[in-house]
Copies of this chain bind each other. A is one copy, B any other.
Amino acid sequence: MPILPRAAGLAGLLAALSLPAGAQEAGRAPQGPLTIARQGSFFVGGRTLHSDTLSTQPAYAPSGTVTVDQMYVRYQVPADAGARPPLVLVHGCCLTGKTWETTPDGRMGWDEFLVRRGYPTYVVDQAWRGRSAAHPTTINAVRTGKAGMDTLPTVFAAGQEDAWTIFRFGRRHPETFPGLLFPLEAQEEFWKQMVPDWNFSVPSPNPSVTGLSALAKRLEGAVLVSHSQSGIYPFQAAGMSREGIRGIVAIEPGACPAADWDMAPYKGLPILVLWGDFVGESPRWAPRLQACRDFARTANAAGGRVEVVVLPEAGIRGNSHMLMQDRNSLEIADLVLGWVNRNVEAK
């Protein structure tokens, strides 16, 4: 089933949604006060370890216990959630949960929009990123001569010129793709969202994956919404256990499950793989889209329910890799919600 009947337009999109009272128009930010039933934050996962190189400063002891690998989760549950499944939003490379909040040009983020659409919404910081502690003591081990320089952690920052191409603002910095919908006039605020990435240093299995699995179980049924670097995580989590995973939305995943993976974990699981525009012009992304199409074919032949949607093929043009911040971000959110409503079992 196509994600959106051609020519259905916004009215058709709205009809496909299951919205709380007062929701007025697809793709538009609801106005007025927001009433939430509850909100808060917590951690999932985590591992306790001892280190003798916690600190090189006299004010803090070098030896002691720390907890790492936990994943920070912040949530809001709307007053009118009904039986709608909770949505878990996972950011990509070099970013944090901020990805889903207020856009760089100051518009409503998906985090609030989904709540206003009636969905309990959970935003995480990947393990070792943002409010989820990295484990930095190898730096001090090298500094104090207890370990070799080759043990320094791999921590990288994506430069803005590099990110420009990766996020498909244009073929190369500072060119822009024609009709690009990313709000480049606010790029300064966007670059501030980027943080150092420890992803090459995290243990295996990736604690963000085990964290997502734990979170899905705790929520007793969630849709895992991943982006870019985290794209593969929900698939890996489902491979560990299907418990609590009611659906997957992979937005421009860095990888889909390889064709030689066991497809059993995806049998009957609603999966949407969503891509923006200009993918064919990107040597980084074009092969990944192709790999996702291959995955969909293989998984669906084994009883899967994978749908790959490329927005320009559905008539929606101009989206960058940062779909959730593009000018039509809320229209895309409603499109995802329409898919969730048609495919994912209510609680």
Residue positions of A touching B, CB distance < 8 A: 33-37, 39-43, 46, 48, 51, 54-57, 60-61, 63-67, 70, 72, 74, 79, 96-98, 101-102, 106, 108-109, 112, 125, 130-137, 139-140, 142-143, 149, 152-162, 188-189, 191-196, 200
Q: Which residues from chain B contact A161 at a C-beta distance below 8 Å?
A: 61, 64-65
Closest to A74 in B: B101
Partner of A102, one of B41, B137, B140: B41
A33-B37, A101-B41, A131-B125 given as contacts; is B194 within 8 A of A156 (CB)? no
B156 near A98 (CB under 8 angstroms)? no
A57 near B154 (CB under 8 angstroms)? yes
Alpha-carbon distance between A196 and B79 when the two chains are bound, in angstroms: 36
B143 near A60 (CB under 8 angstroms)? no
Closest to A156 in B: B55
B189 near A42 (CB under 8 angstroms)? yes
Alpha-carbon distance between A34 and B42 when the two chains are bound, in angstroms: 19
A194 near B66 (CB under 8 angstroms)? yes
Q: Which residues from chain B contact A134 at a C-beta distance below 8 Å?
A: 195-196
Alpha-carbon distance between A39 and B195 when the two chains are bound, in angstroms: 23
Closest to A115 in B: B39
A79-B33, A154-B57, A192-B133 given as contacts; is B41 within 8 A of A98 (CB)? yes
- Closest chain-B Cβ to A80's Cβ sits at a distance in Å of 10
Interchain residue pairs with CB less than 8 A apart (19): A34-B35, A34-B39, A39-B112, A40-B108, A41-B101, A43-B192, A46-B188, A56-B156, A60-B159, A61-B162, A66-B160, A67-B188, A67-B194, A96-B130, A131-B193, A133-B195, A140-B156, A142-B142, A143-B152
